[in-house]
Structure formats: C-alpha cells, structure tokens
Structure 1
C-alpha cells in the first residue's frame, strides 16, 4: 500500500484522523520514522489550511507505532511570515510521536550563500550498484529503490551515501514525499556495530532548504554521518540533495544504541 493510499483510507475522528500502518511500512516493530514524520506533516498541512511551505521540523520518536494509530494536529501560532503547527501520533500505548513544524513564506534578505555542496566522487544513479530487494528493512524493500552512491570500500567510517527513489509518490505534496524519503538510511554509526545491535532514533530535526523540492527521475542523494557515539548515544548529521547536486534538506538525529 502506498503512502498516498494510507492517507486516502484515513478515517476522521473528533480530534484528528485514524490510519492503519501497513506492515510493509514497518521498521522493526514500529512504523518507519519517515512514515510517521510524513504522516504528521500531512495532518499539519490538512488542518492548517492555506499554509506557506514547510521549512523546519522537529520530531520525537517516543514509542513504537503499529496497527491502528490516530494523528492529531493543531496550530500553535500564526505570525506575519511564519506559522507553527504541532502534530501528535497516538498508538495502543498512548502518545508515541510528536512533531513541531514551521511553515514560512519567503522574505527579502541581503544574505544568500550555500555551504551545502554535494559530495565529490559520487556515482550517478545509473552507474551505482543496486541494493537487492531481498536485503534491507521491510519498508525499504516494499517502498523504495536504493543504490549505493559510493564505490565499495573496506574503510569502516560511520558514514553512508545512498541514492534513494521512493515509489508511487506522484499524488503526494513534494514536501511530504521528501520527508517520507529523508530518513531512509540506517544511522551512520551502524557501520561500526554488529548487525545484531538494536538502535532507535530519539530525536530528528530537519531544515527544508527550498519551498519546492524537486529532482529528476525520482532520485535523491542521502547522507548520514555520525560525529559522536558514547555511553549508548550517537549524534549524526544528515543531508539530502537532488540529482543535480542542489541541497534540499539538512538535519541531525540522536540515536540510542543498545549494545
């Protein structure tokens, strides 16, 4: 079931909407983080009305979400140029996910620079090796095409570069589709861990760098890079570019390590 299908089958409640998380969107025992984030954004945009583009988001992933969940949203503040909207997702054990979104109109500014250049040495999508659909998390196998953006290397660095292409997102708002895709990589620190070590995202913050994200042939270049890990916590930086190397999104994430 595509993400657009999930939204189309949502049922309205007194406080929000209920949806059923398909098992094909699972990451372990919970909904994939990008799924929950995109669901929260879609609900924020639904209740917010005629909003400007989303430009920033903070997400807290507090408890597993599966089966039937309810998503709610409310406008926190409407300013001259920006609107803040909060979203929450409830599962069978109560509140499991919260998000705070900032929607902002473009304004005049004397400052303009870009220090988010795409990495060098990246293979083009057509030249990159393919991640087999028999490998990877459940949500990846069923909803995304993945290719390795860098040539194979024996160097163990807590960093990953993937080309990721979501399937069947034509009916989605481009910003919702971008957030749905942006969490597709495993945490960078997993390159240093045994595959049996569980990990879990705690917080995720992103900035959407353009009001109209776009790429060619559906491909996005994703990067995760851990810059700290100690005592069960890891901090990582994240970024996403389109095929032409234009930056679309930056972020950071806190990861819990259970081993």
Structure 2
C-alpha cells in the first residue's frame, strides 16, 4: 500500500484519524521513522486547514515502537500572524509511540543570504549512481517503497557517513512536504558502517529544518546524507542533509541515535 493510499483509507474524526501500519512500511518491529513522522505531519496539516503556511521545521521524538493499529492526533498550539505551531502524537495500543511539533511559517523578506548546505564533493548524478543491491539486512520499508542508488564512488575503508540517492516508487497524490519528510529519514544512521551487522540501533529524536517553502526535484530523486560526529556510551549524534537532484538544499537536520553494542 502506498502512503497516499493509506491516507485516503484512514478513518477520520474531527481531530484524529486511525490507520493500520502496513507490513511493507516496517523497520524491524516498528514503523519506519519517516513513515511515522509523515503520518504526524499529515495530521498536523489537516488540523491547520486551508491557508496553513509552508512547513519550516519539525521536531520529532520516537518514543516507542509503532505497529498495528495507530491513532494519529493533532492540535494547534499557537497561531500567530505569520507562524503556526501544531503538535501531533501517534499512539498504538494506548501507548505514545511518537510526539512531534511542527512549525509552519510564511516567507518574509531577508537581508541575509547564506548557504553552507552544499552537496559532498565527487557526487554522482542519479543516472550514474550504482543501484543498491538488496541484501539480508535491508529493511522491509526500503525494499518495498524506495529506489536507492549510491551517490558517491566506492571508497576504501569505512567512515561514519552514508550518502545515497533515494526516491519513492510511487509518489502520486502526495503533498510535497509530506513526501520530503517521508523520504528524509530513509538512510541508516551514519554510524552504521562502523558497527557489526548485528548491532541494534534506534533513532530517538530528529530535528528537520525545511530550507525551502516549496520542495521540488527532478524525476523524484533526492540526495540524502547522514554523517555521525559523535558516538559514546550508547548514544550517537549525526547531522543530516537532503538536496534535490540539482544540488539545491531542501532539508538540514540532526538526529540522536541509540546504539546497543
């Protein structure tokens, strides 16, 4: 089931909707993080109604495993002249599995123009990237819903960085902001190449700042990069970026990851 189909079939009430998490969107025993975050965003946008400004920032806490029947609820925290804050929560079996706050804000004039969000050097365009070959440790959600290509030439040795081209197999009828959030968490944690395949990892929090009010790309391809810069005592911190197919920055983020081993 595509994400758009899932939203279309959701059982809605005044301030929430209910869905069943499809097996094809699972990552181990829980829903893929981008799936859960996109569900919460869809609820927030529905609560905001017509005239809601573009999404500019998302702060997401992955509280617990999400699977089976899920209730997604949103409420407006504050609506100002130019910005609106909306919180959203997902519960499964009566337990909170995700809590998020979204900030929607219209564009304003600015005298400052700064862009340090540049793609990595040596980047391959999507058409040149080596296709990702399925393997036993590949998550179900990735195999079922995404096309993946390596964005950099194969390097010697291991580093705490992952960089891929990713696109949804079916993105029809999706709001661009929902699509971006659905895609933006598709990479494994940046620390993963330094771990053994059996080492469990789990995202705890994710902050994603939208750098454009209107995300758009070519042929559905998005460049994703995760780079871990710290890992001690079971906690890893990483920076994340997402660019469109022309190298324009779309999302800048940061994530905390639990490492169990």
Report the TM-score when normalising by structure 1: 0.98
CA separation of 1:177 and 1:201: change in aligned 2, threshold 3 A: same
Contact 1:134 1:141 in 2 (8 A): no
Select between 106-115 and 173-182 the one with higher mean Cα deviation: 106-115
Alignment coverage as a number of residue pairs: 259
| Partners of 1:95 and 1:14 in 2: CA distance | 20
State the Cα RMSD in Å.
1.0
What is the 5 A alignment of 1:144-163? 144-163=146-165
Residue of structure 2 in register with 1:105 after alignment: 106
| Partners of 2:12 and 2:242 in 1: CA distance | 33
Residue of structure 2 in register with 1:132 after alignment: 133
SS of equivalent residue, structure 2 residue 43: helix
Structure 1, unaligned runs of 5 or more: none
| Partners of 1:24 and 1:129 in 2: CA distance | 24
Select between 24-33 and 133-142 the one with higher mean Cα deviation: 133-142
SS of equivalent residue, structure 1 residue 45: helix
Contact 1:204 1:252 in 2 (8 A): yes
Residue of structure 1 in register with 2:205 after alignment: 203
Give the CA deviation at 1:196.
Answer: 0.2
What is the 5 A alignment of 1:14-163? 15-50=15-50, 51-134=52-135, 136-163=138-165
Contact 1:226 1:235 in 2 (8 A): yes
Select between 231-240 and 148-157 the one with higher mean Cα deviation: 148-157
SS of equivalent residue, structure 1 residue 129: coil
Report the TM-score when normalising by structure 2: 0.97
| Partners of 2:133 and 2:259 in 1: CA distance | 26
Deviations 1:178-203 (A, max 9, x none): 00000000001011000101000000
Deviations 1:201-252 (A, max 9, x none): 0000000000100110110110000000000000000000011110000000
| Partners of 1:34 and 1:131 in 2: CA distance | 20
Contact 2:15 2:47 in 1 (8 A): no
SS of equivalent residue, structure 1 residue 34: helix
Contact 2:200 2:259 in 1 (8 A): yes
| Partners of 1:58 and 1:45 in 2: CA distance | 15
Residue of structure 2 in register with 1:217 after alignment: 219
Contact 2:17 2:73 in 1 (8 A): yes
CA separation of 1:40 and 1:224: change in aligned 2, threshold 3 A: same
